[in-house]
Amino acid sequence: MTRADKGARLLVMTGAAAMVVIVSAQVVMRYVFNGSFDWADEASRIAFVWTIFLAIPLGIKDGTHVGIELLVTRFPDGLRRFIARVMSALAAAMMAIVFWTSIIVALATWSERLGAINVTSSVFFFPLILGAFHAMLHLIQLALIPLSFPSGEAKP
């Protein structure tokens, strides 16, 4: 999965950079030249959606997503690891549902076009499909082989 992670990281960085450039250019156009780009709003929204949904699996892999551990930290190590595996398996199942549902919705909205840039509105579902599948793979891996951290606890 290292190549997929590197590719996702590159796309996330590219999407974030595109957002900064597009929004900055739009601000300059509006306040300096008293005009605007018609496509800037849709293009920056697409870059935002791609950035967010492709970053989710990276957070899962790195263990950086927010979690509430108030109760779980009081459990013995073995039970904590078991809960981490079960939660990872449940989250993987949820990502499988998101993956499949996103494909269905993308196919249903394929003929709809975005107004300013004339591309399919399904472009918003592509990163969700890719991100959900990528996240599902990381979650399956965590369910089978949970990460172990120096404190001895397993994090999903």
- pTM above the 0.85 mark? no
The phi and psi torsions of 113 (rounded to 5 degrees) equal -115, 150
pLDDT of residue 1: 62
* Closest by CA position to 97, among listed 139, 135, 132, 53: 132
> Which pLDDT tens digit goes with each residue over 93-147?
999 999 999 999 999 998 888 888 888 888 889 999 999 999 999 999 999 986 6
* Domain residue ranges in the chain: 2-155
10 Å CB burial of residue 38 (0-12, 13-18, 19+) is exposed
For 70, 134, 144, 145, 147, the CA distances from 75, given in Å and listed in that order, are 10, 30, 20, 19, 17
pLDDT of residue 40: 87
Say which DSSP state 63 is in. Answer: T
